[in-house]
Amino acid sequence: MASAPSKLYSDDVSLVAVLLDVNPFFWAASAGAGGGNHTAAALTFAKFLDHVIPFLNSLLLMNQLNQVVLIATGINSCGYIYDSGSSLDVSDKVSEVSSEVLRRLGEFVYKDRRVVKGAESAMGSNVTSLLSGSLSLALCYIQKVFRSGAIHPQPRILCLQASPDGPEQYVAVMNAIFSAQRSMVPIDSCVVGVQHSAFLQQASYITGGIYLKPPQLDGLFQYLAAVFAADLQSRCFLQLPKPTGVDFRASCFCHKKTIDMGYVCSICLSIFCQHHRKCSTCGSEFNQAPLPTNSTSETMR
């Protein structure tokens, strides 16, 4: 489906699609880390929500026409949790955020974890969330808003990510990033996990958003309010964090590791760190023999 051809925005009215990482295995591992060296050990999921929910309320209080859409990013599914557009009065919006979000998040996490078979055996902070799915849901919602009328809020996406990147989602995530770029939708990123996210670094860089990994998670609300609350028009007058280094490396599909050079399937663009006679993604067969190790270009077909 093509993007909406014309977009007329209200200057200071925002539509913020917030993607909330609710990976139960990551948060369980964080809580179980205790006083260890785990970066997110001091930030349990309950404390995480204590920062996020007031931030959502602050977005609604900044302008009575602002709209917030909360999308949960699970390990097997994604879903809409809250849409402030369903309430006409701003006081109703703010009063219902806390109770409504907590109730629906509980239902979503229970259903999402229930459908995962044998996941308990792989429980740990390395279980990835379905970032590509939540990005797609956010973009679909924004496209619906584009077609709702000539004047609408300025949309942007805010990813609150805790889990590590899932290399198997590389193509889907990059497609979502380029779709957001085409629709002129910035993707902001706030990473509260252990590792930096190469996916979100590229997403924020390509779409003109902001990437931040807060050094002090105890003050997460202050980071959210100071960096991500301002509308796009006001950002022109603020000194906001700028990218210091973006990891543009891709992840291989075979061993799920970041690589500097590899083999690319010319059919489905799957990436491999080693030569394969057959693509494991689309099944295409390759006749070319592996190139010498000292070659500057290693590409299939």
Q: Tell me, letter by letter, the H, E, C secondary structure of 8-46.
A: EEEEEEEEEEEEEECCHHHHHHHHHCCCCCCCCCCCCHH
- Is residue 275 domain-resident? yes
Q: Is the pLDDT of residue 10 over 70?
A: no
Crossing angle for the helix pair 24-32 and 45-62, to the nearest 10 degrees: 120
Residue with tokens 């590389």: 170
Mean of the pLDDT values across residues 2-15? 64
Amino acid at 278: K
Among residues 181, 204, 237, the one where a domain terminates is 237
Q: Is the dihedral of CA 254, 178, 266, 297 positive or negative?
A: negative
Pair 225, 257 in one domain: no
Residues 125, 27: contact at Cβ < 8 Å?
no
| Domain containing residue 64: CATH number | 3.40.50.410
With a pLDDT cut of 90, the percent of the chain lying above it is 39
pLDDT the model gives residue 293: 54
Look at phi and psi of residue 15 and say left if phi exceeds 0, alpha if psi is from -120 to 50, else beta. beta
Pair 74, 211 in one domain: yes
Distance between CA atoms of residues 116 and 262, nearest Å: 32
Other CB atoms within a 10 A radius of the CB of residue 8 amount to 8
Total domain count, the chain: 2
DSSP 8-state class, residue 278? B
As a residue count, the chain comes to 301
Q: Answer with the residue of higher pLDDT: 150 or 139.
A: 139
Crossing angle for the helix pair 170-182 and 198-207, to the nearest 10 degrees: 20
Q: What is the CA radius of gyration of the chain?
A: 20
- Is residue 116 domain-resident? yes
- Is residue 1 domain-resident? no
Distance between CA atoms of residues 155 and 187, nearest Å: 10
Distance between CA atoms of residues 86 and 93, nearest Å: 8
Pair 223, 261 in one domain: no
Q: Is 267 exposed, middle or buried (0-12, 13-18, 19+ CB in 10 A)?
A: middle
Residues 282, 265: contact at Cβ < 8 Å?
yes
The β-bridge partners of 159 are: 19, 189
Pair 100, 132 in one domain: yes
Mean of the pLDDT values across residues 239-259? 76
Distance between CA atoms of residues 245 and 161, nearest Å: 18
Instruction: Give the CA-trace dihedral at 227, 231, 234, 238, to 10 degrees.
Output: 10
- Is residue 271 domain-resident? yes
Amino acid at 214: P
Instruction: Give the CA-trace dihedral at 110, 116, 121, 123, to 10 degrees.
Output: -50
Pair 216, 256 in one domain: no
Pair 77, 198 in one domain: yes
- Is residue 206 domain-resident? yes
pLDDT tens column, 16-71: 999 999 998 888 887 766 544 444 446 889 999 999 999 999 998 888 888 999 99
pLDDT tens column, 144-195: 988 887 778 899 999 999 998 887 788 889 899 999 999 999 999 999 988 8
Pair 183, 265 in one domain: no
Residues 241, 212: contact at Cβ < 8 Å?
yes
- Is residue 242 domain-resident? no
Q: Which two tokens stand for residue 160?
A: 């609150």
- Is residue 243 domain-resident? no
Residues 186, 46: contact at Cβ < 8 Å?
no
**pLDDT, the chain, mean:** 81
Secondary structure string (H, E, C) spanning 74-88 = CCCCEEEEEEHHHCC
